[in-house]
Amino acid sequence: MIKKDPEVWEKITRIVKSLPGVGLLSMLKVVVETNGFEAFRSAKQLTRYAGYDIIEKQSGAYKGKTKISKQGNARIRKTLYMPALAHIRCTEGPIKQLYLRVSQRTGLTKKAQTAAQRKLLCLIFSLWKSDQAYNPNYQNRHQPPKEGSPDQRPELHEIAPA
């Protein structure tokens, strides 16, 4: 049925082919559960819909722990569990870095897996909305140049006098 709409099929296959860990069935489930992301203007709305938003248990002076609300679509969370684990295992990218950072900081691997699932959902959303394929080096182009690179050496940029 999905192949009947060539535009949607092209978007799905572009994301599945470029994003490690995300398979066709997982991508289809996410697209179906979100109705093609039509109702969402931002990733924050989507994470709230999926139940990945953070809540803090507090009352008066008592400050409890933070956790995800789980008041959203449980089918999305269930669908993203294995793709997030597969993505963490098979790639070196921003999602794996997030997973390692959270697991080292908290010592809780389930919390780190949930953070990776949320980031994967936001990544799928942004790829869908921008109609682009996943580029693992996208984040690297925004980092400052390394010490000693041509961008850091002004003598290479000087114009010779005529």
One digit per residue, the tens of pLDDT, for the chain of length 162 reads 778 888 899 999 999 999 999 999 999 999 999 999 999 999 999 999 999 988 888 777 877 777 888 888 999 999 999 999 999 998 888 899 999 999 999 888 999 999 999 999 999 999 999 999 988 777 655 455 555 555 554 554 455 444
Nearest to residue 87, comparing CAs of 6, 22, 146?
Answer: 22
Tell me the C-alpha distance between 51 and 60, whole Å.
Answer: 25
The pTM assigned to this predicted structure is: 0.79
Q: Is 146 left (phi over 0), alpha (psi -120 to 50) or beta?
A: beta
pLDDT of 157: 47
Based on the number of CB atoms within 10 Å of its own CB, is 57 exposed (0-12), middle (13-18) or buried (19 or more)?
exposed
Helix (H, G, I), strand (E, B) or coil at 147: coil
| Alpha-helical runs (H) found in 35-108 | 43-50, 74-90, 94-106
pLDDT of 112: 92
Tell me the C-alpha distance between 94 and 147, whole Å.
Answer: 22
Tell me the C-alpha distance between 80 and 26, whole Å.
Answer: 7
pLDDT of 93: 84
